[in-house]
Chain A
Amino acid sequence: MAALREPVFGSSRELTSLPPRDGEVSADFATLAENEIISTPNLHAHERLELYHRQYWFRLLDSIDEDFPALKRLLGAEKFWRLIEAYLEIVPSRSFTLRHLGSGLADFLKVHPGLAGGHPVQAAELAQLEYALCDIFEAPARPAVAAEKLVEATLALQPHLRLFAFRTPVDGLWRLGDDVAVPAELLVLPAGEADFHVAIFRHQARQIVRRIRREEFSLLQSIVATGSLAAALDSSDATAEEVRAWFQSWTELGWLCERELPASPAKIKILESSNNHLPVIVPLHHHL
Chain B
Amino acid sequence: MNTSRFTNFQSLGIGIGLRVPHYDHILSRRPAVDWFEIISENYLVDGGRPLEVLDQIMAQYQVVQHGVGLYPGSAQGLNWDHLRKLKKLVQRTKTPWISDHLCWGSVDGTSSHDLLPMPYTREAVEQCAENLRIAQDFLERPLAVENVSSYAEFKDSTMTEWEFLTEVVEHADCGILLDVNNIYVSSVNHGFNPLDYVENVPHERVAQMHIAGHSRYERFIIDTHDHPVIDPVWKLYARAIELCGPTATLLEWDDKIPPFEEVHAEALKAKRFWNHTVETRHAEVAHVV
Contacts and interface: CB of A to CB of B under 8 A. Distances in A.
Report if A and B associate in a common complex: yes
Interface residues of A, number: 38
Contact of B113 (A41, A49, A60, A205): A60
Nearest to B86: A96
A76 interface: no
A36 B154 contact: yes
Contacts of B109: 94
Given A38-B153, A96-B44, A96-B69, A56 B112 contact: yes
Contacts of B189: 40, 42-43
Interface string A17-43: 000000000000000000111101111
A113 B76 CA distance: 37
A100 B190 CA distance: 34
Contacts of A92: 110-111
Contacts of B31: none
Contacts of B113: 56, 59-60, 93, 98
B220 A37 contact: no
**Size bin of chain B's contact surface:** 35 or more
Prevailing SS type, chain B contact patch: mixed
Contacts of B191: 40-41
B153 A37 contact: yes
A219 to B, nearest CB: 25
B220 A51 contact: yes
B230 interface: no
A38 B155 CA distance: 6
A159 B156 contact: no
Contacts of A138: 45-50
Nearest to A45: B152
A4 to B, nearest CB: 6
Contacts of B85: 96
Contact of B190 (A40, A56, A160, A202): A40
Given A1-B107, A51-B152, A56-B112, A139 B44 contact: no
Given A1-B107, A42-B220, A96-B69, A52 B152 contact: yes
B272 interface: no
B8 interface: no
B52 interface: yes
A187 B155 CA distance: 56
Contacts of A52: 114, 116, 151-152
A120 to B, nearest CB: 27
Nearest to B52: A205
A140 B219 contact: no
A43 B220 contact: yes
Nearest to A40: B191
B193 interface: no
B82 A38 contact: no
Interface in B166-191: 189-191
A248 interface: no
A34 B156 CA distance: 12
B152 A48 contact: yes
A97 B220 contact: no
A77 interface: no
Given A42-B220, A97-B41, A139-B47, A35 B111 contact: no
B149 to A, nearest CB: 11
A137 B20 CA distance: 13
Given A1-B107, A94-B111, A141-B47, A37 B52 contact: no
Contacts of B42: 97
Given A97-B42, A141-B47, A4 B112 contact: yes
B2 to A, nearest CB: 31
Contacts of B48: 136-141, 160, 202
Given A1-B110, A141-B47, A36 B155 contact: yes
A223 B13 CA distance: 52
A55 interface: yes
A36 B48 CA distance: 44
Interface string A178-197: 00000000000000000000
A37 B113 CA distance: 21
Interface in A128-161: 136-141, 159-160
Contact of B110 (A36, A43, A93): A93
24 contacts: A1-B106, A1-B107, A37-B154, A38-B154, A40-B190, A41-B191, A42-B189, A43-B151, A43-B219, A48-B152, A59-B114, A92-B110, A92-B111, A93-B111, A93-B113, A94-B109, A96-B44, A138-B45, A138-B46, A138-B48, A139-B47, A141-B47, A141-B48, A160-B47
In the A-B complex, the 3 residue pairs with the smallest Cβ-Cβ separation, listed nearest first, are: A140-B47, A138-B45, A138-B48
Given A45-B152, A92-B110, A96-B41, 7 more contacts: A37-B154, A38-B152, A48-B152, A56-B113, A96-B44, A136-B48, A140-B47
Interface of A: 1, 4-5, 35-38, 40-43, 45, 48-49, 51-52, 55-56, 59-60, 92-98, 136-141, 159-160, 202, 205, 285
